[in-house]
Amino acid sequence: MKTKAAFVTSEDGPWHVAELELDPPKEHEVLIKYAAAGLCHSDEHLRSPGFWAGTARYPMVGGHEGAGIVQAVGESVTRVKVGDHIVCSFIPVCGKCRFCSTGLQGLCDSGSTLMQGNLTDGTYRFHLGDEDLGGNCMLGTFSEYGVLSEYSCVPIDPDIPLDVAVLVGCGVPTGWGSAVYAADVTPGDVVIVYGSGGIGSNAVQGAAYAGAKFLIVVDPVEGKRQFATTIGATHAVGTAEEADALAKELTRGVGADKAIITTGVVQSETISAAFNAIRKAGTVVITGLAGLNDININIPSGQLTLEGKTIRGTLYGSGNPLWEIPMLLGLYKEGRLKLDELVTTSYKLEDINEGYADMWAGKNIRGIIKF
Ligand SMILES: NC(=O)c1ccc[n+]([C@@H]2O[C@H](COP(=O)([O-])OP(=O)(O)OC[C@H]3O[C@@H](n4cnc5c(N)ncnc54)[C@H](O)[C@@H]3O)[C@@H](O)[C@H]2O)c1
Ligand SMILES: [Zn+2]
Ligand SMILES: [Zn+2]
């Protein structure tokens, strides 16, 4: 069948929109009609020369936040059936590997070829002429239709609007889990969140839910700071220096308990600032990405040792998407988690370059494509 999709052909080119050929689903695969896709910053890293240090395969259909309805299933599919509403998990979850079976679904081994964009059997379903196209994170949600592994599907209640549920494919669980699991925010904590976009806003929601007493957001964009104070931030400042001073002031000089970095491209200076802003035995969580081979943690290890601090990374908020995605949508239904407010602008697929230009200009908390 045909599907209109947005893809990149090289790491220094724009998003192209064209009609592609899409194969039917094979064993353990499903055909999805997407209702919406989110414009996460991670897809733009595909257009950043050198970012993936040669590990990403081109051409690649973008998009790893997606929600839609199952149209057809291949042989042996058990997780979903035709008509089910699903949110895509941007890491496939097999349920059986060492990581899935020990509560670390976000690190499932079946996601090991995410940046190649193939399906779990190593082959491709999108084609343009003789050329095979991958799908970012083994998905490629910037497409009217997609074929994906059943491992990438998380069924959800059909009464939740798909153009809201889509956010719970990446931004919401990644940000939420960065605070709740990776940083382990506990009641009374003083928390700093660097960067308040699609991911950071949800780190704010997670930290507030977990009981942070003071929650300081750092973002150079005034609109992001203003928005953060409507979803749980108690303070919002423009620079890391101001956050450091504020955290010390609020803690009689002790420092923040937790610092979470969700900036669009993680800079060495932000990591150093976060390390200095936390107290003894505090934790810095790095959720934002930097170029794969950038050596950008410049920390005196002696201080790390003597102050017993932790610096850790997190993928998918260190959660379990199969459980997490329906759980977060349940909180949304109960009015405990804000999702509608996070969608700033909806775009047509053809306007994807404009959508990402708006992200870079700081205009969106999250932009989405509506099909
Ligand atoms: N670890 C994961 O599983 C995971 C998942 C999704 C996205 N990501 C990464 O998270 C990062 C954020 O993604 P997003 O979609 O929220 O991006 P975004 O562009 O929506 O948000 C980034 C925010 O950082 C702010 N910012 C930029 N420089 C800053 C600085 N020096 N100090 C403070 N704030 C600054 C921007 O103004 C913006 O509000 C990206 O690197 C993305 O690739 C990681
Ligand atoms: Zn993402
Ligand atoms: Zn697994």
Q: Which atom of ligand 1 is closest in space to residue 41's alpha carbon?
A: 15
Q: Which of 275, 297, 314 is the last residue of a domain?
A: 314
Tell me the average confidence (pLDDT) per consecutive run of 10 residues in the chain, 371 residues long.
98 97 98 98 98 97 98 98 98 97 97 95 97 98 98 98 98 98 98 98 98 98 98 98 98 98 98 98 98 97 98 98 98 98 98 98 98 97
| pLDDT number for residue 290 | 98
Q: Which of 314, 331, 361 is the last residue of a domain?
A: 314
Q: 266 with 288, same domain? A: yes
Q: 261 with 363, same domain? A: no
Its domain, for residue 8, covers: 2-169+339-370
Residue 310 lies in a domain: yes
Q: 188 with 111, same domain? A: no
Residue 253 lies in a domain: yes
Residue 331 lies in a domain: no
The span from the CA of 176 to the CA of 181, in Å, is: 8
Residue 294 lies in a domain: yes
Residue 217 lies in a domain: yes
Residue closest to 171 by CA, chosen among 317, 350, 337: 317
| pLDDT number for residue 350 | 98
Q: What is the CATH number of the domain that holds 351?
A: 3.90.180.10
Q: 87 with 131, same domain? A: yes
- Catalytically annotated residues: 40, 42, 45, 64, 170
CB neighbour class for 203 (10 Å; exposed up to 12, middle 13-18, buried from 19)? buried
Q: Which atom of ligand 1 is closest in space to residue 362's alpha carbon?
A: 37
Counting the structural domains of the chain, the total is 2
| pLDDT number for residue 363 | 98
| pLDDT number for residue 110 | 96
| pLDDT number for residue 94 | 97
Q: 116 with 237, same domain? A: no
Q: 35 with 124, same domain? A: yes
| pLDDT number for residue 16 | 98
Q: What tokens were used for 232?
A: 């749980």
| Residue among 266, 272, 287 to mutate when testing ligand 1 (max atoms within 8 A of CB) | 287
Residue 325 lies in a domain: no
Q: For residue 111, how far is its CA from the centre of ligand 3 (angstroms)?
A: 8
Residue 225 lies in a domain: yes
Q: Tokens 């009217």 — which residue?
A: 144
Q: 152 with 232, same domain? A: no
Q: 14 with 163, same domain? A: yes
Q: 216 with 305, same domain? A: yes
| pLDDT number for residue 280 | 98
Q: 20 with 158, same domain? A: yes
Q: What is the CATH number of the domain that holds 299?
A: 3.40.50.720
Q: 201 with 135, same domain? A: no
| pLDDT number for residue 311 | 98
| pLDDT number for residue 211 | 98
The span from the CA of 139 to the CA of 94, in Å, is: 15
Q: Which atom of ligand 1 is closest in space to residue 317's alpha carbon?
A: 3
Which residues have C-beta within 8 Å of that of residue 74, sequence separation ≥ 6? 24, 25, 26, 27, 28, 29, 30
| pLDDT number for residue 101 | 97
Q: For residue 337, how far is its CA from the centre of ligand 3 (angstroms)?
A: 28
Q: 70 with 162, same domain? A: yes
Residue 74 lies in a domain: yes
